[in-house]
Each structure stands twice: as C-alpha cells, then as structure tokens.
Amino acid sequence: MQTKKGFILIYTILVGLVCLTIMMYIFDVQLSEVKYATSNKKHVLKDDNYQRDKEYLMTLFFKYINANKVQIKQEGINKFSFDSLSNTVKYGGANVSHTGSTNQFIFTTPDVKNEKRYDYFILEDSGEKFKLIFIKTEYHNK
C-alpha cells in the first residue's frame, strides 16, 4: 500500500500534539500540587499573634503566681494584693490585670481590626497547684 508523502508528516504532527497535550496536563497537575503545598505550608506556619501573646501572658502569670505562692496560700486568693501584677505580667501590647471587686483576672490582648480582646478568668487553689478557670471573652474597640 502506497501513501502520499504528506500523510506521514500529518500523522507525526497529530501524535506530537497528543503527546504535548498529555505533557501539559501532567505539568498542570504538578503545578496545582505545588500551589496547594505552599498554600498549606503558609496556613500551618501562619503567625497567630493572639495565641503567641496569650501563651506568653500565661507563662508570665504562672511565674508570678509561683513566685508569690506562699503568700497567696497564707492570705488566701481573695485577700492577696495583686497590685504589682499589671506591671509584672505584660508582653508587648498584652497584659494581665486583676479586679478586686469580682476577683477576676483579665487577660488583655490586641486583636485584629483595632480591637482588644478581654479574657476573664478566676484563680482557684487546688491543693499544691493553682488553676485558672475561664469565664468569658469580650471584644472592645481601642
């Protein structure tokens, strides 16, 4: 069987286009995987300012409580003066304060959109250690 000279070139071009289409599809899938991986990495490594500030405040707060542990146990949580707390326990724009009337500890942390987050806790004595019990959270504009 004899074919004309141009048909072999057409078959070669068609097979080349099919191969090129398959390669482009594989390249597109690989590019999608890379975009997903980088997006996921950014999400996992996202810097959460609130969480960082809260962890620092909790660490500093319990260091303060442990330093004054004997005095707090002798006087009681309700009668101990937490005057130096707001000067001692602070990190950046975040700090901890104590309300004498309700005996609550207020963890104040800056939040996005020009707001401040106020987390209210109560301190309880449980034998050897102290526990913080969460009460509520409020948001206020700066």
Q: Which residue has the higher pLDDT, 76 or 62?
A: 62
Query: What are the boundaries of each domain within the chain?
Result: 7-46, 49-141
Query: Is it the case that residue 104 has pLDDT exceeding 70?
Result: yes
Better-predicted residue by pLDDT, 142 or 129: 129
Contact (Cβ atoms closer than 8 angstroms) between residue 96 and residue 105: yes
pLDDT band, very low/low/confident/very high, at 142 (cuts 50, 70, 90): low
Q: In sequence order, what are the residues at sequence separation of 6 or more whose Cβ sits closer than 8 angstroms to the Cβ of residue 69?
A: 130
Q: How far is CA 72 from the centre of its chain?
A: 32
Helices (H), 45-141: 49-67, 69-75, 85-88
Which one has a higher pLDDT value, 113 or 70? Answer: 70
**pLDDT higher than threshold 90 for residue 70:** no
